[in-house]
Amino acid sequence: NAGVMQNPRHLVRRRGQEARLRCSPMKGHSHVYWYRQLPEEGLKFMVYLQKENIIDESGMPKERFSAEFPKEGPSILRIQQVVRGDSAAYFCASSLGQGVYEQYFGPGTRLTVT
């Protein structure tokens, strides 16, 4: 009964490097969501993807951030030229469909930019 998997769980990058965060949805789920969480805050929506399509990227910063969910393989959240302000926990969730379908979260990737 594999849930949503994310790797790595912890990622340390120096300023200017690239960070790649991976998310494998639950079996049978084709909808993936990415969220960012700062300490003691709620989750902020970043992007919603379906296989090979970006459905809603209204929460994504305009620069340096990109996301994809290819036909085969995990969803990738990519952050180029990381800055200290990118340090946060990044969570991925998956669902069977959109609307009232429930989202199930992975354990998150904690990104630290030094």
- Return the SS3 of 114: coil
Contact yes or no for 87/17 (Cβ under 8 A): no
If one asks whether residue 56 binds another protein (CB under 8 A), the answer comes out as yes
Structural contact between residues 106 and 23, judged by C-beta atoms closer than 8 angstroms: yes
Nearer to another protein, 14 or 62 (CB): 62
In this chain, which stretch among 13-21, 41-49, 68-76, 79-87 interacts with another protein, using CB under 8 A? 41-49
* Single-letter amino acid code for the residue at 73: G
Contact 17, 29 (CB under 8 A): no
| 95 sits near another protein (criterion: CB under 8 A) | yes
Residues that bind another protein (CB under 8 A): 4, 31, 33, 35, 40-45, 48, 55-56, 58, 91, 93, 95, 97-108, 110
